[in-house]
Amino acid sequence: MEKLFGTDGIRDTANTKVLTPVPLARLGQAIGWLLRTERALFSTDGARGVPRAPFGQANAFKRPSVRDRVLIGRDTRLSGPMISASLAAGLLSQGVNVVEGGILPTPAIAHVVREMGASLGIVVSASHNPAPDNGIKLISPEGFKIPDAAEERIEALMRAGVPDALTGPEVGDLALETGVDAESKLSNIASKYARDLVDRAKEWGLSLKGMKLVIDCANGATRAVAPWVLEALGAKVVAMGVDPDGAKINDGCGALHPQELTQRVKEEKADLGISFDGDGDRLIVVDDKGHVRDGDYVLAICARMLKAQGKLEPAVVVGTEMSNLGLELSLKAEGIRLVRAKVGDRFVSQAMKTEGLLIGGEQSGHILFFEDSTTGDGLLSALMVLRAARHFGKSWNDLCKCLTRLPQVLKSVRVVSKPAFESVPEIVEAKRKVEKKLGAKGRLVLRYSGTEPVARIMIEGDDQAKIEKMAGEIEESIREALG
């Protein structure tokens, strides 16, 4: 059996390999068996600033053995119900109780699992990938991604099979979350998440009255929650990407495709454009002048705000090896240090927990604010962006002047295999030549995507034309060797 888990859970083309009903049911059985025999395996360490709050009022969980329940939520892909049902069947066969939460953003699942004290959360989503793909992310009772050791035990059980000792007549209970909150008109689970976000924003003193926002929900999991939250705080919202049909998720829209949002912000003369990906865990901002602003800008400005409010102790931010050098220089000018982690929000999260830090994130828009959440949350990040604008009394375009990006080129090359780059002579030689040309005035980073058959190239330097040429040389060497 191939390795199941990558850097962001399991991900592949839906209805192929493990993402077909029989293997999915076996996966559910393996997870269920471990929940019954080795539950502590799924627990994760907490993080500074993230409280463990009592569970609120979601009706679906007012049944016996709340702590034995697993919450399953999904994005809007056509394959989502099939995958959710197959996983639920396996869990139920092991006597594990399941709540089918329907369409929910990833951060909502993490939030509600932590609040309700559930055994586990399961996210059925391929995040920013196109609609034919899908995936599975497992959320610990504390709201973080499960430990590597738990993933390894699941894979071992998938290879060996679930022992017969716990199979038998005991079957778990399935709760279908069909309740709708009368005021918000969201499902009870989504409403819990949305109301908690609004309450938190009000604690900050954030009001969005007088603001006009254009949002792009990528035809994904935020399509109902995001407009409600922003309108509840007083904003006038123009919503795009809120009409999912199972196939339109991330299709020319959302965080990876902000072109239409950029145009709409200009047309509407909006204060800000806000773009999410399919499962709602990342954010890309379009400022009032129509400029696309990635996660580096969010980190630079929100870190400044938190420091000004006396909440950034120690004055350290976690980025990644892909974070632009301009971010590092911008933070340094404010007495804030940048620590770089490997690419992937799980690595950012690990670094933040290890160092006891409150803010970190990726250029791609996964931003973590440990004072308020355990995971990347596009909607929370949007509220922090708006909070910063109110705090400084400036437009986002003006705030972004604190960061001057160094010329940077990002390229993706599809590959058929992922050997270590150091083991491929053609790539080693191309890399050596580029690094010699860059000298001390630039950086080259090569890595493989953890979720796609793709090699990533990042080059920074002092001349855009030169680094684009260098990136082309690296791209060609990878394509010839691994394409």
Cα 133 vs. chain centroid, distance in angstroms?
16
Q: What is the rounded (10 degree) CA torsion for 97, 98, 99, 104? A: 150
Is residue 375 one of the residues assigned to a domain? yes
- 32 lies in the same domain as 131: yes
Our CA angle for 129, 283, 208, nearest 5°, is: 145
Give me the tens of pLDDT residue by residue for the chain, a chain 483 residues long: 678 999 899 999 999 999 999 999 999 999 999 999 999 999 998 899 887 654 344 444 444 344 469 999 999 999 999 999 999 999 999 999 999 999 999 999 999 999 888 999 999 999 999 999 999 999 999 999 999 999 999 999 999 988 875 556 689 999 998 889 888 999 999 999 999 999 999 999 999 999 999 999 999 999 999 999 999 999 999 999 999 999 999 999 999 999 999 999 999 999 999 999 999 999 999 999 999 999 999 999 999 999 999 999 999 999 999 999 999 999 999 999 999 999 999 999 999 999 999 999 999 999 999 999 999 999 999 999 999 999 999 999 999 999 999 999 999 999 999 999 999 999 999 999 999 999 988 899 999 988 789 999 999 999 999 999 999 999 999 999 998
- 71 lies in the same domain as 95: yes
Could you give the residue numbers annotated as active site? Answer: 127
Range of the domain at 442: 408-482
- Please report the pLDDT score of residue 51 as a whole number: 74
- 125 lies in the same domain as 211: no
- Please report the pLDDT score of residue 66 as a whole number: 41
Name beta bridge partners: 72.
Answer: 100, 122
Q: How far is CA 396 from CA 154, 275, 404, in A?
A: 45, 15, 14
- 398 lies in the same domain as 412: no
Is residue 182 one of the residues assigned to a domain? no
Chosen domain end from 339, 372, 402? 402
Is residue 318 one of the residues assigned to a domain? yes
Is residue 381 one of the residues assigned to a domain? yes
Chosen domain end from 384, 402, 420? 402
Is residue 229 one of the residues assigned to a domain? yes
Is residue 5 one of the residues assigned to a domain? no
- 388 lies in the same domain as 285: yes
Is residue 273 one of the residues assigned to a domain? yes
* Total tally of structural domains belonging to the chain: 3
- 165 lies in the same domain as 279: no
The Cα 317–Cα 358 span in angstroms is: 8
Cβ-Cβ contacts under 8 Å for 148 (sequence gap 6 or more) = none
- 427 lies in the same domain as 342: no
- 449 lies in the same domain as 415: yes
DSSP label of 402: G
Is residue 4 one of the residues assigned to a domain? no
DSSP label of 271: S
Q: Which two tokens stand for residue 64?
A: 């016996």
- 373 lies in the same domain as 275: yes
Could you tell me the CATH number of the domain that includes residue 128?
A: 3.40.120.10
- Name the nearest CA neighbour of 362 among 321, 312, 399: 321
- Please report the pLDDT score of residue 179 as a whole number: 86
Chosen domain end from 153, 176, 199? 176
- 393 lies in the same domain as 413: no
Q: How far is CA 451 from CA 10, 410, 455, in A?
A: 8, 17, 11
- Please report the pLDDT score of residue 49 as a whole number: 87
- 122 lies in the same domain as 245: no
- Looking up tokens 């990878």 gives 478
Q: Are 127 and 135 in contact (CB under 8 A)?
A: yes
- Please report the pLDDT score of residue 3 as a whole number: 87
